[in-house]
Structure 1
Amino acid sequence: MDPQYAALLAHAIVDTVRDPLLVLDCQLNVKTASRSFLREFQVEPEAVDGHPVYDILDGSLNVVGLVALLEKALADHTASKAVEIEKDFPRIGKRCLVVEVSEVFFAHNVHKAILVLFHDVTERRSIEREKQELLIETQNLLKEKHVLLLEMQHRISNSLQIIANILMIKTRATTSEEARKHLQDAYTRVMSVAEMQRHIDGAARAKTVSLPPYFKTICDSLVCSMVDDNRRVSLRYEFDDACAASTVAVSLGLIVTELVINSLKYAFPTNRPDAEIVVKYETSGDNWRLTVADNGVGRPGETPASSDGLGSTLVKALAQQVKAQIETKSDAHGLTVSLTHVTFTPRDD
């Protein structure tokens, strides 16, 4: 091939490269610069061609990492290496570049050239830094939230204990047997709520929580605090043996609490001997279903607006946290609320 034609062809190929590219000789002088290099760094060919690579761009490429890479390419004949540099370049400002260095041999290894390819990763690194800063800020907010929750739970526990102590003092001071009975009943209810609060608080502090005893404590505490001789409702539960991360367990515990309280408050406006609430937690691999069902009056005349109360909003928000879908079925035979995580295949009984 004609040497002049070969040189023109090589230069044309260099100009097709999208990323900025320099071709250096063995003395690390610039033999040619691609159009993309001239355009990216806003320089003319005469300011680059024939100059030592460390002198161009006002010496911006004379950095330790790149110098070491070029020297290694000359000495060790390495195939391809890269280094990341961040500099304030003339005319274009601060840039973060990944620089690749490759050695090219010609026929019979008589001649060789060094290729220096530049990848601009400024925007990518900026996004990564923003993500990292956002992650750190989020972690700090979560820590603050955790501290506030612990403080709130501590205050709630103390308040419940104070109320229980006052009720006990009043119980001892009263001379009326009927008043004493009511005060003892109130004391029992307050202590049940305190026990439920303690269990949820303990779940929040643990890494993983065994769900059956956790759910059982919550359900028993709710029955003890809300069911009495004037309103008899049986609560039955069926829990598969499973564990969950503390954040998931707390959300599930709050969901169970809210749904059971709603059933106790609204499902049975009149006393019924067969009044029953059933709480189930079923698992299938990594998937699960939580169901709270009652055989009460359902939600007669329900409209979309009527289902968006504080309790429903809370359950929806908690369901989103645990990545579960809510399904509600209401008819004359009662109300069933199911939360399903991903897909669920019921077991054959």
Structure 2
Amino acid sequence: MLYRPKIHLKHKVLKYLYFIGTAFILFYFSTLDSYAQKPHVDGSLFREGLLELKFKENWKYQPGDNPEWANPDFDDSDWYKINPIGLKAYQMPDSLWSGFGWWRITFTADPNTVESIERLYFNSWGAAEIYLDGELVETYGNFSTDSKLEKTHTPNYAPDRPLKITPKDVHTLAVRFSNHQAKNNFNIFRYFAENLGFDIGFSSAVRAKFSDFRYPNSFATLSVIVAVLFILLVLHVLLYFKFRKEEPYLVITLITFFFLCAAICAHILLFFELNGFTNPIFSSILNSTAFGLGYGLLPYSLSSLFRIQKFYWTRHLVWLALFRTANYFIPVFNFILFDATIILAVIVLMVIIMRIAIKEKNRGALYVTFGAIGTSVFLLVNRMVNAELITLSTFLYYVDLILLYISYPLGIYIYITNQYGRLFLAMEQEVEVRTQQLNETIRDLTKTQHELSLKNNQNVLLLKEIHHRVKNNLEVVSGLLALQSAKMDDPTMQEVMLASQNRVHSMGILHQKLYQSEHLAFIEMKNYFENLCINILDSYNETDRIKVNIEMKELEMDVDTAVPLGLIVNELLTNALKYAFPKGEKGKIELSLESLSEDNFQLKIRDNGVGKALDAKIRGTGFGTQLVDLLTRQIDGNLMQDVSNGTMILINFKRQVAAGSGQV
């Protein structure tokens, strides 16, 4: 007989307890697992007052449109697990995206957390209807299954919208969503196409207060950046135009300009309502390209500023910015990895260049080091925040953004002003020494100037006296001619003597005007012509019958030109009085002198008489005509006449300045 061990009752009880315990544990963990399917929302998830529903494994998606899907009791267990947060268009299969669909998430919430929620946070470039526990709580844009009727939402700087959640054990959030344009345009913008999906969450009082001031805070941040960069840009432009041979000033000016453009493009939504198609052009592509061009020039600006020629090749780094822009359309490299590589490479280059500059004892290089390295560090921090590798408070984020744009231009300007400050101090010491020397020279020059002034005044008085005596001598000659003419019986000879007397008198008037004028080398022609015409009319006793009209502006002429002009006017006016009005009728003569250009003038004498040509042989010797021709050639002039309606004579000539006379 085989031996069968005896089974005690105790062992049976333990066996049944083990079975029951195992079943209980399995049931317990299955219960926990089913409970874990619903994410739990509590206060620990708030970040600066914002609780984002970033539960990647709990979001459900279904293409199409059915209002029943807003019902919290609807069974969505067979829906697709697709996270809408950060969803790019190329990540959504075409079979699931025809431009619209629904997202749902079911979660539990701590009652105290629910009571602290005051606002709904939603960020998207699509159109959406938000349902919470079956109730429509908010709309963004205009949802439509038809792309032509859809009006997408622009995530500008508006505050988060009010929301009050009724406390309960389980909540269901459903988002009826459409975004036709993102799918249509993703082939163009690929990486930088705006999200096909959305970001959503809840805001507490802390976040609500921030969102109310989002626009003024962002505008104030941009204003600080733009104001500082604009002032620095103006200062760098002035430095460049002051010292055009300094190429670093041009490069630094370009960097500041690119940073300014990038800052404005990054905040373009402050001024314009854009959509998911146009926003990447400004806030992503133009902003990134402008900043990339400026950032790529940093190593070259340092090497040229400190004259480190072996690093001048770094000017070619700007091509990387253009290549980076091209990479938006034709992806070759991973964008984040490419950006990080470029930033680190630029930092390494700048560290090497700055180390050489400091080693060569370039004073003030630390200011540039702060600006250049600071810009790179703040840029790295900004990229890490955007990639959610680190978190910063809102205040620190704004500070980082401001320093990112202004550090380098500001550091460079401090360096330049420091350099010029040192230069000016050295110059001041040199100026003090030179000033003493100049003061001694000035005293000697003042003494010499005083002596020269006395001699000059004596020369002026002497020259005026000479003109006065010449005028008196000419008056004597004119008087002698008048006495001689009175003793002659031949009318022809009397006429010749009168003409000669007028010629002498014309020169006498000129010398009279010269010694009466403040400028001994010039004479005012209008007043001279007026006196000359009065004298000629009086000499022929034609004051009442013939009127001379002088239409010209006041014009000064040098003596070398005024003398022949006076004689020419004397001859032409005499000729008009003698031959233009033969029957004793009344007449009018027009006289003018005008400037055609800087050194070219035109003399015009016109009468309304019978229209005899200047060289018409009526009577007389023809000496006056010969004299006019001679004087015209003397002033390098060209004489033209028109006798179709009276007589008009034009003489175009150039100003005649004797060698060594100069102008006063």
Q: TM-score range by the shorter chain?
A: 0.3 to 0.5
Q: State the structure with bigger RCO (CA 8 A, min sep 6), 1 or 2.
A: 1
TM-score normalised by structure 2 residue count: 0.23
Answer 1 or 2: which has greater helix percent: 2
TM-score normalised by structure 1 residue count: 0.41
